[in-house]
Amino acid sequence: MSTFADRFKVREPRSFMKDSERKKIHDSALDVLESTGIRVMSSVARDSLKRAGAIVDDKTNVVKYSPDLVNSLMSKVPSSIVLAGRTKDYDLPLDRRHHYYTTDGCGIAVWDPKTKSRRQSVLEDIRKTAVLGDALPYLSIYEPMVVAHDISSKTHVLEGLKVGMENTTKHIETESTTTPEEARAQVKMAAAVVGSEEELRKRHYMSAMVCTISPLVLDGGATDAAMVWAENHVPVHITGMASMGLSGPATVAGSLVVNHAETLALACAMQAHEPGAPFLYGSVQSSMDPKTGAYNAGAPETIMLSIGNVEMAKYLDVPCSAGGMGGSARTPGLRQSIENSVLSPPLAAVGCEIMNGIGLADGSTLLSFAQMVVDNEIVALVLNSNRDIEVNDESVSLDLIKTVGIGRNYLSEMHTVKHVKDFYMSTLWDMSTYESWAESGKRDLMDVAEEKAQKMLSEHQPEKLDGARLSALKKVIDEF
């Protein structure tokens, strides 16, 4: 019987870089960490690194790592983990043979297709995206997608997480955690859902994104939080964002080195603090817009960088969530869909295990429910075109070819009846005629997607959390 995870199975990854090229990037990053070092703004991380043997300058907070130290600490990283759902049906093994998708985060506005304008996001938008995310068949992981501007800044991350946990059974990824206290509260919440903190260490129901600050800085609050994640074995997506030409060199290889150094630096800090803490190589690099310096998520260079990130994760033999869809179109629609369609296929082929980015436009800031549905369709196309090509007696069907022979057809063969069920059928568009399209109102694809999103939102009933666990989540927030 096939599982939810089977939906995301893809063929064996290909290599896009030579071993010698990956080694050169890795060795260069080791050189940077040994000679230049990295500024670590978290005293907890610095203390752990110092105990492990790193050289810490207490005046500048710059930490230098020897190659031996990096190799020793990295040897403790689990190479394969399972991201757990709220129920086991939604467990996601990270075994280099799956290609999963998360929602994007963390936007600040919501697109109104009627007025063609933006409005500020609120908590109800998080609930809706969790419900829709739960319903979308090709979304693997839910991340609260927007900031709840109607909730105080003190608790908005926790409230968003609660709404997410409440409305989807899929794995939860949290973002925007800026203090260790906020991390501890979220650990309590995830523990309440899975049963206990001890159980959470085994069942990774929640993972956390932690960004580095390029070039070569680990933020204080977010890195303190990363140490809390490590203590509780919450997998951390280490998300470097070095931007070519701005916060990284203006070449793909150079920016890969900066990103790799930052990733190793935080991964090693976690291992020094809590040996065996799981992490994912989770970069989201881009080139800058040469005119403004802005993040340019839909650029071809972004794909090159993401491919390089995945290659470096494979080099380290660690789970990988590098790259994603989520282009830079200012509004949802054609350009966003083109960019997302171009961003995904090479990353499915190279072996990216988790792709970020369903549903937000404008550099991950603008939520669109219709775009969530369109992106789900793009993912479906990518996955269903990256399956293994089965070659066996049944699939080769030599006898059948001989039997049908010359000039007849395969339509009424039982072999066809059996296998036609495997053909991918779009859930968003059909193959009806021009006349049928004209008669049904000549609707644009985004209109169709919006209607589908609203229908799913009104009809889908996620499996709710029981009252006891819900009360436990509420208690954590009330006491925060």
Partner 1 sequence: MSALLGRNSMDEKKLFKSLSDAILSYDSAAAEKAAKDAIRAKVDALKVIEKGLVPAIGKVGDKFEKMEIYLPELMLAAEAMKTAMTLLLPLVPKDKIVSKATVAIGTVQGDVHEIGKNIVSNMLMANGFNVIDLGVDVKTTTFVEEAKRSNAKIIGASALMSSTIGSQKDIIDYLVSLKERKKFAVMVGGGPTTGEWSDEIGADGWGEDAATTIKLANKLAKGK
Closest residue by Cα to residue 353 from 103, 10, 84: 10
The 171-210 site mask, x for binding partner 1 (CB under 8 A), equals -----x-x--------------------------------
CB 77 within 8 A of CB 279: yes
* Using rule CB under 8 A, residue 137 touches partner 1: no
* Using rule CB under 8 A, residue 122 touches partner 1: no
- Give the Cα separation of 473 and 191 in Å (integer): 10
Find the shortest distance in angstroms from Cβ 92 to partner 1.
26
Q: Which CB sits closer to partner 1, 218 or 449? A: 218
Count of C-beta atoms within a 10 Å radius of residue 7: 16
- Give the Cα separation of 267 and 316 in Å (integer): 11
Q: Which CB sits closer to partner 1, 196 or 251? A: 251
Member of 13, 37, 85, 107 binding partner 1 (CB under 8 A): 107
Residue whose tokens read 């908590």: 123
The 344-363 site mask, x for binding partner 1 (CB under 8 A), equals -------------------x
Peptide bond into 320 cis (omega under 30): no
Member of 15, 87, 153, 385 binding partner 1 (CB under 8 A): 153
From the list 290-298, 307-315, 320-328, 340-348, the region that binds partner 1 by CB under 8 A is 290-298
* Using rule CB under 8 A, residue 295 touches partner 1: yes
* Using rule CB under 8 A, residue 120 touches partner 1: yes
Member of 62, 253, 294, 472 binding partner 1 (CB under 8 A): 294
* Using rule CB under 8 A, residue 251 touches partner 1: no
CB 370 within 8 A of CB 340: no
- Give the Cα separation of 279 and 318 in Å (integer): 8
* Using rule CB under 8 A, residue 220 touches partner 1: yes
Question: Which DSSP state fits 299?
Answer: S
* Using rule CB under 8 A, residue 259 touches partner 1: no
Q: Which CB sits closer to partner 1, 147 or 189? A: 147
Q: Which CB sits closer to partner 1, 150 or 444? A: 150
Work out the angle between the directed axes of helices 180-194 and 467-479 (0-180°, nearest 10). 170
CB 240 within 8 A of CB 214: yes
State which of positions 364-403 bind partner 1 (CB under 8 A).
Answer: 365
CB 287 within 8 A of CB 299: yes
From the list 214-222, 305-313, 321-329, 419-427, the region that binds partner 1 by CB under 8 A is 214-222
CA distances from 414 to 101, 397, 408 (A): 35, 12, 15
The 26-65 site mask, x for binding partner 1 (CB under 8 A), equals ---------------x------------------------
* Using rule CB under 8 A, residue 246 touches partner 1: yes
Q: Which CB sits closer to partner 1, 365 or 376? A: 365
Member of 20, 75, 292, 412 binding partner 1 (CB under 8 A): 292
Member of 5, 63, 147, 449 binding partner 1 (CB under 8 A): 147
252 phi/psi in degrees, rounded to 5: -60, -50
Q: Which CB sits closer to partner 1, 27 or 112? A: 112
Member of 217, 244, 367, 476 binding partner 1 (CB under 8 A): 217
Helix (H) or strand (E) holding 304: helix 300-316
* Using rule CB under 8 A, residue 118 touches partner 1: yes
Find the shortest distance in angstroms from Cβ 40 to partner 1.
12
DSSP annotation string for 313-377: HHHHT--B---B-----SSSSHHHHHHHHHHHHHHHHHT-SEEEEETEETTTTEE-HHHHHHHHH
Member of 62, 108, 338, 477 binding partner 1 (CB under 8 A): 108
DSSP annotation string for 195-262: S-HHHHHHSB-EEEEEE-BTTTEE-HHHHHHHHHHHHTT--EEEE--PEETTTB-SSHHHHHHHHHHH
CB 302 within 8 A of CB 296: yes
Find the shortest distance in angstroms from Cβ 138 to partner 1.
26
Closest residue by Cα to residue 74 from 254, 295, 255, 238: 238
Q: Which CB sits closer to partner 1, 169 or 207? A: 207
* Using rule CB under 8 A, residue 283 touches partner 1: no
Give the three-class secondary structure for 462: coil
- Give the Cα separation of 86 and 172 in Å (integer): 8
Residues at the interface with partner 1 (CB under 8 A): 41, 106-109, 118-120, 147, 153, 157, 176, 178, 213, 217, 219-221, 245-247, 288, 290-295, 363, 365
